[in-house]
C-alpha cells in the first residue's frame, strides 16, 4: 500500500472557499443563475439559452486561467499530485459524470448554491455525494490498498 498523505491547508482552503462563495453570489446577482460548474460547462458546449454563452465562456476561462495566475504571481505552476494511474482517473471521471447526470448537478451547484438556498434536494444530493466519497476512499485505500 502506498502512503497517500493529505495536506492540511486551512488558510488556502478558507480563501478558496471564500472565492467560490463570492463567485456564486456575484453570478446570482449579475445573471440570476446558479453557479454549478457542470451546468455552466454543458450549457457552453450544448448552447443552453440563447445569449447565454458569454458569461459561461467567461466562467470557464476563469476556471482554466487560475493556474496561469499562480504562475504569474509565483513563477511556477502549482503542484498537483494525483496518486492514482491515468486509467483510474478516467474511470473516476466517468463515474462522476454519471453521478452528475443522475443527480441533476454537481457539488458546486448542490453543495454550495443549493444548500445556501436551503434546497431539500440539494441537501439530499450533497449528503449522497459525501457518503459515496467516503465509501470510495475507504474501499480504494483500505480494501484495495491502492
**Better pLDDT: 40 or 3:** 40
Q: According to the model, what pLDDT value does residue 6 have?
A: 67
The pTM (predicted TM-score) of the whole model is 0.71
C-alpha dihedral, 111 to 117 to 123 to 124, nearest 10°: -110
Locate the domains of the chain by residue range. Answer: 10-143
Q: What is the pLDDT of residue 34?
A: 85
Burial of 22 (0-12, 13-18, 19+ CB in 10 A): exposed
Specify the higher pLDDT residue, 99 or 14. Answer: 14
Summarised one tens digit per residue, pLDDT across range 39-98 is 888 889 987 777 888 889 998 998 889 888 989 999 998 877 787 788 988 988 888 888
* pLDDT tens profile 102-119: 888 888 888 888 888 899
What nine digits make up the cell of 138?
475507504
What are the φ and ψ backbone dihedral angles of 47, each rounded to 5 degrees?
Answer: 110, -35
Quick count: other Cβ atoms within 10 Å of Cβ 106?
Answer: 21
Number of DSSP helices (H) and strands (E) in the chain, helices first: 6, 0
Quick one: which H or E segment has residue 99?
helix 86-102
Instruction: Write the DSSP symbol of residue 51.
Output: T
Q: What pLDDT score was predicted for residue 75?
A: 92
Amino acid at each position: 500500500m502506498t502512503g497517500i498523505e493529505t495536506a492540511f491547508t486551512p488558510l488556502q482552503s478558507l480563501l478558496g472557499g471564500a472565492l467560490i462563495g463570492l463567485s456564486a453570489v456575484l453570478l446570482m446577482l449579475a445573471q440570476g443563475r446558479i453557479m454549478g460548474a457542470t451546468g455552466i460547462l454543458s450549457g457552453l458546449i450544448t448552447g443552453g439559452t440563447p445569449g447565454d454563452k458569454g458569461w459561461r465562456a467567461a466562467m470557464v476561462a476563469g476556471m482554466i486561467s487560475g493556474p496561469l495566475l499562480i504562475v504569474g504571481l509565483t513563477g511556477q505552476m502549482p503542484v498537483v499530485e494525483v496518486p492514482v494511474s491515468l486509467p483510474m482517473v478516467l474511470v473516476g471521471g466517468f463515474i462522476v459524470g454519471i453521478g452528475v447526470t443522475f443527480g441533476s448537478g454537481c457539488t458546486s451547484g448542490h453543495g454550495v448554491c443549493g444548500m445556501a438556498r436551503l434546497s431539500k434536494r440539494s441537501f439530499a444530493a450533497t449528503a449522497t455525494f459525501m457518503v459515496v466519497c467516503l465509501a470510495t476512499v475507504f474501499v480504494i485505500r483500505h480494501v484495495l490498498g491502492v
